[in-house]
Amino acid sequence: MADFNDEAARHRGKQLIVTRKQAEAHLAYAEANGDLEYAAEKIQEIANIDREGENLNRLFQQYTEARQAPTAPSSDAWRTKKSEEMTPEDVRLMLNDTSATAKIGGGITYEENVNQLRKLAQAKARGDYHGKP
């Protein structure tokens, strides 16, 4: 079922179509009578209506996209990220994909990865950069 904003946008779109058709008819009338001033006004009116329609379509598209659930990243999304953009989940996926343990059915879970990252942060806070607990 369409929501209120959908219905309002569609209604406004229909109004713009009708208004544009009226402006086109007035432009044809101005052309038939050789009225350049009136024709110029109608041409500008049509341009304004078209711009308003483009803005309405863009806003409607943004609104529609914002309501859709975000798609889950693929399991290979980590491959395109820079290291500073990676999340703990990206690191876990990378380790599971590239480690020998993962290749034989092992690997680490998300919780194990977070635990290891926490231990690493604690070691660095103590000044231990050798990886010894």
- pLDDT tens string, the chain, 133 residues long: the values are 468 988 999 999 999 999 999 999 999 999 999 999 999 999 999 999 999 999 999 999 998 888 877 666 677 777 888 878 888 788 777 777 766 555 555 666 777 777 878 888 888 888 776 655 5
pTM score of the predicted model: 0.52
Angle at which helix 88-98 crosses helix 110-126, to 10 degrees, equals 110
Per DSSP, the three-state class of 68 is coil
Distance between CA atoms of residues 125 and 104, nearest Å: 34
- Measured CA to CA in angstroms, residue 127 lies from 97, 114, 122, 124 at distances of 30, 20, 9, 5
**Of 39, 52, 44, 48, nearest in space to 12 by CA:** 52
Annotated domain spans of the chain? 4-67, 77-126
